[in-house]
Amino acid sequence: MTRFAERTAFVTGGTTGIGFATAQALIAEGARVVVTGQDAGRVAEAGRKLGNQALAVTADVTSAEAMEAAVAKAVAAFGTIDVVFANAGIALGGPAGDTPTDVVERMLATNISGVLNTVRAVLPHLAEGASVVLNASSVATKTVAGVGVYSATKAAVLSLGKTLAVELAPRGIRVNMVSPGMTETPILGKFGMPPEAQAAMLEGVKAALPAGRVAQPDEIAGAVLFLSDRRSGYVTGSNLIIDGGQNVA
């Protein structure tokens, strides 16, 4: 399959979970893909698994300089960038009114500044007709107790994406968002809540899902590829919710 032949994609947080599945799907469709992550070991492993159509780069999204350096490596290897998936993110739980300041700051820095650092770094190198997809979350629009600060960072991503869609339209660049529901990735083990509280929160969400199951990463990747494909060329500023019905229940 060659839907993305001769095209270059830049995927932040592409070493595990949704980002890795998206990188795999893009490569299967012919793209050259640059993946980033902050952990050098996971970056190297992802590079090995993705093969010779991929370049894996260690870069912390919270650092504007690191993102500029990562994009410079991508451009040196593959030229201008056609597809961006600003996906890197963290989810730390706890009551919104009782989340420690350092946890709040880590989430703001990764989930909001990280997206901005990525977009700012890639902007000068985007090809005409490029597609940018930002990874938000179903909880940006659906209230779930226990993940309030995370939800707020993802609501900010939706707002940012809508503005970017308007600002970049004159360059022929589309910006859309995906909002996954609960997806089986390593993130589900990283909430940092007391184990019983975390298990209760996850079980509560699962029990209320109309689809009766959580998503698999390749189901989110499929939506990212749709929004990155020229055949969705008139879709911009949209938020594609992929949550098994969670938001409408």
Ligand X SMILES: NC(=O)c1ccc[n+]([C@@H]2O[C@H](COP(=O)([O-])OP(=O)(O)OC[C@H]3O[C@@H](n4cnc5c(N)ncnc54)[C@H](OP(=O)(O)O)[C@@H]3O)[C@@H](O)[C@H]2O)c1
Contacts to ligand X by CB under 6 A? 13, 15-19, 36-39, 42, 60-62, 87-91, 110, 135, 137, 180, 182-183, 185-187
Residue with tokens 């590829």: 225
Tell me if 217 sits within 8 A of 155, measured CB to CB: no
234 a catalytic residue? no
For residues 1 and 207, which CB has a smaller minimum distance to ligand X in the complex? 207
37 forms beta bridges with 58
- Nearest residue to 227 via CA among 120, 136, 139: 136
For residues 19 and 93, which CB has a smaller minimum distance to ligand X in the complex? 19
Which of 150, 168, 205, 209 is catalytic? The answer is: 150
The tokens of 215 are what?
Answer: 């998503």
For residues 186 and 194, which CB has a smaller minimum distance to ligand X in the complex? 186
**DSSP structure class, residue 1:** -
The tokens of 204 are what?
Answer: 């509560």
For residues 42 and 174, which CB has a smaller minimum distance to ligand X in the complex? 42
Smallest distance from ligand X to CB 178, Å:
8
Smallest distance from ligand X to CB 168, Å:
21
Angle at 242 between CA 238 and CA 247, to 5 degrees: 90
Smallest distance from ligand X to CB 208, Å:
14
Ordered DSSP codes for 193-249: S-HHHHHHHHHHHHHT-TTSSPBPHHHHHHHHHHHHSGGGTT--S-EEEESTTGGG-
Residues recognised as catalytic: 150
